[in-house]
């Protein structure tokens, strides 16, 4: 394959596209959509993070402003954890609008994450949001098909294809040259997104190494995706008898890959692995916790057995003689049991979601659109894994808070009950201030990459497939297609 011939064919294709006024109209429309989407994403990111940061600070002030009181009362007083948006979520909204962003943290109870943006929005949100990622995933591939569907088929119809081949160009050089030209045209639609997101990150001061690794990975994967789309477009045009056939085939592939397969994957996953309703999930946890024992009930068999073993181990006949606060010890054990129960049920639920997602992962191997969508959301911090990561951090913080309050009770509160007229047992407010505030930490780059092995493998597989398809087609295709 001669490089100069490939470059010549690519340049000729680009010049032909540049002569069309439709190209410039499409380019302006896409750039306008990208600018609007980028502004919308940036505005949502800044406003939402300002709101969430403000209320996280208010929750902390409320926690620290509590006077001296019993630590168990503080455990039930609780606090809030707010999930901040990742800087790259202004590029890809993902599931951000539909997942909750705040959770109330208290002893003995794992509350659900609430207050999604969708719950405060109109029904128009159901029709979707325009994000930069949506334009790159849905609109630009459609434009690539439109610009490239007639690249070879039209020349076959006009008879110029035979002339090109007679002049010495091989089929492989023609296919690679046309694909290269189409890919170069595609970059004109794609580069504005790369640039505008970079400057938004720079403007927000979000240039940490982990964010830049995510940023680089996202646009590298999009580049690979567009290479695949460009080659597929040229191959379709090469194998089609006419431009009309090529256009119909291209649109059909776009509909199947972008609309039908993603919805089918979701429906199939939910059908074969149905998730329990929220009330069913919470009821199952509550039933198991009650079955294990009630730490607030002094006559509960499970905790009465613990009491007897403690008295025996310390050689005393009453909890008043124990060297630590008995109620605090029991509350600590009750918290441990309820947390273990919750984690077991949550693991089962997440297992169902994982099996549902496995269906999508398998289909993503066959569908590069689903692969790039998954990768885009994951590295933008707006997918299901990011949401679950927040849930896990919030639960770990809640458990640590509750157990810290129980340990303070064991250490500083006596076993004797207050007498009539005495002040209730309490410890100093400095203990509330000493407990650290909730700080949400995003997943590291390497962890995200580990969750997206299937999607990465899909793009790699498609690159290999289109390479062999080009080789195969260049050997078997004819100037005049009979079928």
Please return the burial class of 439, using the count of CB atoms within 10 Å of its CB with bins 0-12, 13-18 and 19+. exposed
Residue 481 within a domain: no
Quickly list DSSP for 127-173: G----HHHIIIIIHHHHHHHHHTTTTHHHHHHTHHHHHHHTT--HHH
Closest CA to 254 of 180, 351, 144: 144
Q: What integer pLDDT is reported at residue 483 of this predicted model?
A: 46
Read off the pLDDT of residues 262-280 as tens digits, 9 standing for 90 and up: 989 888 888 889 988 888 8
Residue 84 lies in a domain: yes
Backbone angles phi and psi of 459, in degrees to 5? -65, -40
Count the neighbouring beta carbons within 10 Å of the beta carbon of residue 409. 25
> Domain for residue 400, yes or no?
yes
Those residues whose C-beta lies under 8 Å from the C-beta of residue 180, and which sit 6 or more positions away, are 6, 7, 9, 10
Please compute, for residue 441, the number of CA atoms within 13 A of its CA located in the half-sphere on the CB side.
9
Which three-class secondary structure state does DSSP give residue 429? coil
Structural contact between residues 458 and 364, judged by C-beta atoms closer than 8 angstroms:
yes
CA–CA separation, 58 and 316 (whole Å): 46
H helical segments located in 167-321: 171-204, 209-239, 243-255, 261-272, 278-292, 301-314
Q: How far is residue 217's CA from residue 209's CA, in Å, rounded to a whole number?
A: 12
For residue 456, the SS3 value is helix
Is 483 domain-assigned? no
Both tokens of 433, joined, read 């201030």
Q: How far, in Å, CA of 300 to CA of 111, rounded? A: 25
Q: What is the pLDDT of residue 128?
A: 60
pLDDT for position 126? 47
pLDDT tens string 200-227: 999 999 999 999 999 999 999 999 999 9
CB 36 within 8 A of CB 131: no
Q: Which value, to the nearest 10 degrees, does the dihedral of the CA atoms of residues 142, 144, 146, 149 take?
A: -120
Evaluate whether 330 touches 303 at the Cβ level (below 8 Å): yes
Beta bridge partners, 222, equal none
Whole-number pLDDT of residue 124: 43
Span 370-411, pLDDT tens digits: 999 999 999 999 998 999 999 999 999 999 999 999 999 999
Contacts of 389 (CB under 8 A, 6+ apart): 442, 443
Q: Is residue 182 part of a domain?
A: yes
Specify the pLDDT at position 469: 94
> Can you tell me the distance from the alpha carbon of 158 to that of 175, in angstroms, rounded to the nearest whole number?
18
Q: Would you state the pLDDT for residue 123?
A: 46
What is the domain count for the chain? Answer: 1
Mean pLDDT per 10-residue interval, the chain, length 483 residues: 88 94 96 96 95 96 95 94 96 88 91 64 56 97 95 85 82 93 96 97 94 97 97 94 92 94 89 87 84 74 86 88 90 91 89 86 88 96 92 95 95 82 85 94 94 93 95 83 53
Look-up: residue for tokens 């046309």?
178
pTM of the model: 0.90
| Domain limits for position 41 | 3-476
Question: Can you give the pLDDT at residue 301?
Answer: 82
Instruction: Identify the pLDDT of residue 117.
Output: 54
Q: Which residues, other chains included, contact 386 with Cβ-Cβ below 8 Å and sequence gap of 6+?
A: 86, 94, 378, 442, 443
Question: How far, in whole angstroms, is CA 290 from its chain's centroid?
Answer: 35
What is the rounded distance in angstroms from the CA atom of residue 345 to the CA atom of residue 342? Answer: 5
Quick one: angle between helices 368-379 and 209-239, nearest 10?
Answer: 170
219 is a domain residue:
yes
The angle, 0 to 180 degrees and rounded to 10, between the axes of the packed helices 384-412 and 326-366 is 170
Structure tokens, 42: 């940036």
- Give the C-alpha separation, 197 to 377, whole Å: 15
- Point out which residues pair with 114 in neighbouring strands: 102
The answer to whether 165 and 479 have CB atoms below 8 angstroms apart is: yes
Q: Is the distance from CB of 473 to CB of 415 less than 8 angstroms?
A: no
Is 380 a member of any domain?
Answer: yes
Is residue 45 within 8 Å of 87, Cβ to Cβ? yes
pLDDT value, residue 482: 53
Whether residue 482 is contained in a domain is answered as no
């Amino acid at each position: 394959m001669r490089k100069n011939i490939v470059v010549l064919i690519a340049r000729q294709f680009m010049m032909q596209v540049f002569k069309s006024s439709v190209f410039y109209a499409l380019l302006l429309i896409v750039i306008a959509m990208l600018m609007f989407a980028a502004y919308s994403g940036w505005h949502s990111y800044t406003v939402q993070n300002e709101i969430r940061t403000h209320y996280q600070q208010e929750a902390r002030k409320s926690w620290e402003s509590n006077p001296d009181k019993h630590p168990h009362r503080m455990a039930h007083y609780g606090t809030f954890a707010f999930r901040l948006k990742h800087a790259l979520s202004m590029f890809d909204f993902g599931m951000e609008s539909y997942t909750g962003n705040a959770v109330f943290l208290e002893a003995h109870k794992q509350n659900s994450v609430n207050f999604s943006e969708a719950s405060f929005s109109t029904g128009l949100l159901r029709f979707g949001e325009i994000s930069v990622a949506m334009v790159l995933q849905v609109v630009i591939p459609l434009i690539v098909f439109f610009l490239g569907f007639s690249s070879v088929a039209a020349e076959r119809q006009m008879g110029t294809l035979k002339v090109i081949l007679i002049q010495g160009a091989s089929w492989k050089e023609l296919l690679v040259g046309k694909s290269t030209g189409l890919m170069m045209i595609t970059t004109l639609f794609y580069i504005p997104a790369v640039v505008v997101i970079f400057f938004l990150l720079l403007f927000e001061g979000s240039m940490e190494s982990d964010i830049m690794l995510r940023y680089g990975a996202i646009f590298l994967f999009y580049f690979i995706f567009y290479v695949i789309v460009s080659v597929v477009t040229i191959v379709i045009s090469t194998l089609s008898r006419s431009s009309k056939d090529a256009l119909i085939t291209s649109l059909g592939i776009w509909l199947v890959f972008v609309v039908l397969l993603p919805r089918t994957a979701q429906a199939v996953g939910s059908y074969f692995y149905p998730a329990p309703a929220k009330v069913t999930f919470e009821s199952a946890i509550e039933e198991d916790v009650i079955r294990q024992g009630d730490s607030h009930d002094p006559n509960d068999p499970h905790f009465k057995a613990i009491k007897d073993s403690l008295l025996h181990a310390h050689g005393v006949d009453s909890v008043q003689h124990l060297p630590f606060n008995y109620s605090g010890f029991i509350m600590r054990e009750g918290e441990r049991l309820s947390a273990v129960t919750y984690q077991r049920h949550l693991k089962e639920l997440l297992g169902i979601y994982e099996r549902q997602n496995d269906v999508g992962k398998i289909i993503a191997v066959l569908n590069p659109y689903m692969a790039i969508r998954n990768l885009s959301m994951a590295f933008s911090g707006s997918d299901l894994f990011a949401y679950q990561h927040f849930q896990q951090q919030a639960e770990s913080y809640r458990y640590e808070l509750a157990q810290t309050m129980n340990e303070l009770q064991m250490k500083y509160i006596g076993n004797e009950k207050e007498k009539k007229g005495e002040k209730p047992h309490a410890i100093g407010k400095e203990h509330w201030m000493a407990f650290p505030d909730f700080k949400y930490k995003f997943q590291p780059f390497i962890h995200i990459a580990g969750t997206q092995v299937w999607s990465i493998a899909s793009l790699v597989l498609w690159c290999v497939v289109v390479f062999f398809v080009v080789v195969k087609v260049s050997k078997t295709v004819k100037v005049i297609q009979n079928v």
